[in-house]
Each structure stands twice: as structure tokens, then as C-alpha cells.
Structure 1
Amino acid sequence: METKYNIVKQSLKAKILDGTFQPHQKINSESELMKEFDVSRHTIRLAIGDLVNQGWLYRRQGSGTYCADRSNEEVVQQVGTLKNIAIIATYISNYIFPSIIRGAESYLSQKGYHVSLFSTNNNHDNEKRVLEKILSQSYDGVIVEPTKSAMSNPNINYYLNLERQNIPYVMINAYYDELEPISLVVDDEKGGYLQTEHLIKLGHSNILGFFKSDDAQGTKRMKGFLKAHRSYQFPINPNNIVTYSSAEMDTKPIKELQRILSYTDKPTAIVCYNDQLAISLLDVLREKNLSIPEDISIVGYDDSFLANVTEVKLSTIEHPKNEMGSKAAQMILDMIKNNSNGNQIKKDTVESVVFEPKLIIRHSTQALLSENKTL
């Protein structure tokens, strides 16, 4: 069980990290803190004393306790210059992110930087804890994949605090719109368009689309899916669009595909949010004794290692995994270099990058046979 003293200490520290307490701002009095946390004066003094000793707060005799400016030169000298870069991923050890990390780590290590890896598991509470850790320690810059980037983010203040402390950050795969950060992304709307257009040109009109709804990549890929239908003047069947959240990604798409395949008018092609989902759906299609691509075509996204591991090699959209990681590393070091004179970070010194998507055609898609127009 966490002690009262530690609860007070961590709460005060969190308010410093999220910017509630600004540098040189006076914090609440001991009496006010006693009421707020329902603890003794001794407990408050222990918590404040620790934070003063660690450089988070400072006291003025006869005036009170104030938030320290941890971005000043004295503090920077105390923590040292270890040349640390933090990389924050939604899922650190699977799918395409190891390739992105290798690209970044290879470049950064050549430049003498140490890399620390963090995972949020696409969870805002985890993201908050990671950002608190980064703000508490000595990092020169941050490469971050946003958490649930299609949703309102409760941790924006932490990113603003990074900016206040002059710690540059670069966002990859997606970005928080309200921050207008430097970012590296794939044109996911165009990628979704290319997936769908490929199937339309093969003669498919009854196309099923699966899209992740809490990441910006999913919403943009769905927009491309819809735009392709409109460009080719094909009506869009609302029942052919399946959205799912991160929490549902292992269950809902499979259940929905099983349900849809029970219809008389079955789809003849599937657009998938990514290759990982496509592989999961292939198992359902096999269970239904459907052959790919003879009975149904399927196209993935990301050109991950999964696109080649099954007997059916996936048609997919290329993702510049290693290149994105390496370029993000170059950009964050450029921002650090431009900031080395102690001036405020200028975002116009480094420009955001949008990678053009490319369709890779393999064996999971083919022209619709006339006898398969209705499975």
C-alpha cells in the first residue's frame, strides 16, 4: 500500500510535470495541502523536503515554497549531458515498430547517442507515466508515436511542458493536430485509396473495409476507401465498413467477418487496416473454405514481414519503416543542434515529412471472375 507521504509527493511532482505549477510559481501552503490530502503537517513537510532536495521545489524564507525551473543552466549541469534520446512507441516489440526502431537506433548510435525505449500499449495512462519519466530525467529529444491519435488526448500539457523545457520532439506515423508538431507520416488517405482502387480496377464492387477507429491512420485510410468508391462512382454499402478500437482488435473484426460471410450477398474483396489484421482474417476465410484470391481478394497495409509468412503472399501498401526511423533520428538531432545555442526551438528549421504510399501487388488479389460476382 502506498504511503500518504508518497501520495503527496507524487501528486505535487505530477503537477510540476504537467505544467500546473510553472517555474517560480508559489505552490499551496502547508495548511492548504494538509486539507487537500487530509494528512498531517509532518507528512506534508516530508514530501516537500524530498522534492526540494531533488530540485523540483525551492523555498524562500518567510515567503513559501516555489516550483523550480528545471530547464535552467544549473539544473542541466547537475543532470549531466549523457546524449539521451527517448523513443516512445504504442507497441514496442511487435509488428512494424522494431524496424522503425532499428532505423532510428542505428543512426543515433553512430552519432554517439544512447536510446531509451518506452511503450504505451496505446493507452493514455501509460503515455502519461512515460512522459512523466522523460520529463523527470535527462533527455535531449524525443521520438514519439502518438497514443490513440484519432482521439482527444488528455496528456497535451506534458508535450507543452517538453516545449517549455526546450526538449524537441518528433512524432511518427501520426500526430496530435492541436500541437502542430514536426512529424513523419505516410499519406494514409492516399494509401487507403490505392488499396481500394486496386480492387475496383480488378472488377470488385462489393468490397469490405476494416479500419481502426482510435488511431488517425485508420480514420485516414477509411477516408481513402470512401474516396475511391466515390471517384469510380460506386455506391458505398454502410454495412461493408467495420470499425474497431485497439481494445477490440483481436475480437471484433473476426466476429464481424464471420457474420458478414453468412450473408447471401457476400463481399468479393477485403481492404484491411494493416497486414496484421489481414493475417487474422485469412484464418476466418480458411474456416469458411474460401480460397484466396480465387473466391475473395484481400489487401493489407504496411508491407510488414507478415505479408510474406503465409502461403498467400499479401498485396499491400508499402510502409517506409527503416527509412522513417532513420529520418526521424536525423530530424531530432537537427532540432537539438539548432537548439544548442539555448534559444527557443524553432519548428521552421526542420520540416515535416509525408511519405508517398506505394502499392505492392502479390498473390492475395486477382481480377473478379464472372462466376464469383456473388459467392
Structure 2
Amino acid sequence: MQASDQQYPRGGSVGVSQQQLLPGVSRTFALTIPQLPEPLRTSVTNAYLLCRIADTIEDEPTLSARQKQSFHDRFNVIVAGEGEPPSRFAADLYPMLSETMSADERELIRQLPGVIAITHSLPAKERAALERCVRIMCEGMPWFQRNRRQGGLDDIFEFERYCYYVAGVVGEMLTDLFCQYSVDIAHQRERLRALSVSFGAGLQMTNILKDVWEDRRRGACWLPRDVFQQFGFELCDLSEAHYDPAFGAGIQELVARAHGHLRNALAYVQLLPPGEVGIRRFCLWALAMAALTLQRLNANPAYRSGSEVKISRRAVRATMLSFGLAAGRDTMLRRLFDWAARGLPLRSVDCTVVERRQVRV
């Protein structure tokens, strides 16, 4: 079926169950978000679904850069509670989705009016945090889509900026939501805010490294050229037919940088009150699974697909159990994280200089 052959099936419900939509678009967050206390669980689930809608627009290969810009602009206005009815937006976007998109992603777009209805039912301060996150994502992602190329991003600064727009800003949003939920957490706002970008960036860098080959098959490369050039490798020469150790050296350098972000994210978690074990588990499970993925990437830089470095279900269960039990104990957490990240190279990242640079759109 071509994207233009699809029809928008009516029936998106205002009473949509976010919990039913979530597992289809993220297995990881379907595990971690239920650990959050209410009302955080509702607002964070809604925030993640909004981000996935923005990602779906970005990832649809049949849309031109101009079409993606238009859909992102319209979506941003809708989230802010202005402009056209959400049902009209969904009816325009749904037929444009190709079969490269999963049935769950298409269902998310079909149910978009219900997701937006929940957004608009949230308290004003929570809505403002979500609106800011979506606005920044929808500002940055189209710029990178228009300028994407198989030869990679220009340098490590552009790489960090890309990670900010697609994930670092989510760390900032979560910090705002956590501070609104708890006065005790709000007392740490400045220190948390300084580390929040690393929380999202570490997870995103891990995903970029894991998905290098899948992205390349879609005509994209989000790796920084200068990191690989220092080892004598040009990303435009990347080939599945031949492994170059210089490419592997570049991957390991980025593993070290992602590890640095995850270390900052662990410090972020330890600033949260030990009694808030649900919020800590939400953060910790994602960080620990990213560290284990980095281990597999570092041990096998000649991988050819994300499935080769994906952690097993057994490892996921063990991670959830061990980090879940240690969530309120900082000394045990440090030891567990050291175990999860054992053998990884480490490059420290100063969060205060990983700042967002505005792009011209």
C-alpha cells in the first residue's frame, strides 16, 4: 500500500487510554513510566506520546523536508491549544504514513485527538512544560532533516545540539514536571537543571550508536565527522561490506562520551530524594539499560545492526530487579552502575558547556 492509498479511519477517542498506546511505541518507557506516582504518570505518559508523534513525523521517509516542517509547525500550534482541530491534523497526516511505520505508530496518529485532549486537561504549569518541549523539538528536528546527509554531522558540537533537540530537552521537561510534583525536588532545581540535558543526551547517543546501520539505510547519519576524521576515517566511506578499525575507534570514542553523559545522569538521580523510589526507578532503569547497551557496542564495534547489540530480556529483568531494590540507596546505586558500565571508556562531559545553540529555521 502506498502512503497516499491509506484512509484516515475515524474513531479516535477523547477517552483514549494512554497506557494502551504506550507499549506499542516504546517498550522501555512502557516499563519505566508505571513506576512514577500519580499525577506524574499521566503527564509523563502524555509528554512521551507527544514526543513520539513529533518523531513519527520526522521518521516518515515519504515526507519531504518541507512537508515535515509544515506538519511540525502545525503540531506545535495544536499542542499549544491554538489553530485547527486536532482531528483535522490527524486526518491529514494519517494517509501520508507509509508501511515503514508500524501499526502502533499509525494508531498513535489515529488517536492523536484524544492524546491532545489529555494534554489540554493538564494543570497550566504542566502544560507549559510540555508545550516548551514540543516547541523546541519541532523547531530543531526539521532543521536537521533539511540538512541531513550520509556523510554525517559536521562536528561534535552539532552532534550534541542534535541530541539536545531530540532528547536533551526532554530531560529539561522532566525536571520541570518533577519540581512541580515535589517541593523537596524543587529545592534542587538549579542542580537538577544543570544535569538534565545529560539525562536525555546519554540515552539518545546510545540509540544513535545502536541504530547507525538502520539510519544509514534510510539515507541518514547522525554521527559527527570530526570524531572519525581524527582516526583517519571518513563517514562517507562507511560500508557494510567492509569493517574499518578506524570506524570502530570512532564508535568507541562516542561510547566514552555517552558514558560521560550517563554518569552525569546518575548524579542527577542521586539529587532526587531517596524516598521518591518510583521517580528514581523511572530514571535508573533507562540509564542502566543504556549502559549495558554501550557495553555491547564497545565490545563489538564491527556490529552490522542494532539487534546485534541489543540487550537480552533476561538482562532487562535483572536490571529492573537490582536497580529497583537499590533505588533509595546511593552507595549501592553507584556500585551497581559501576558494574553495569564496567570496562567502558569514559570521557567527562561538562553539562554547563553543553548548551543549546539556536538554529535558523
If the length of structure 1 is used for normalisation, what is the TM-score? 0.25
If the length of structure 2 is used for normalisation, what is the TM-score? 0.26
Structure with greater helix percent? 2
Q: Determine which structure has more spread, i.e. the larger CA radius of gyration.
A: 1
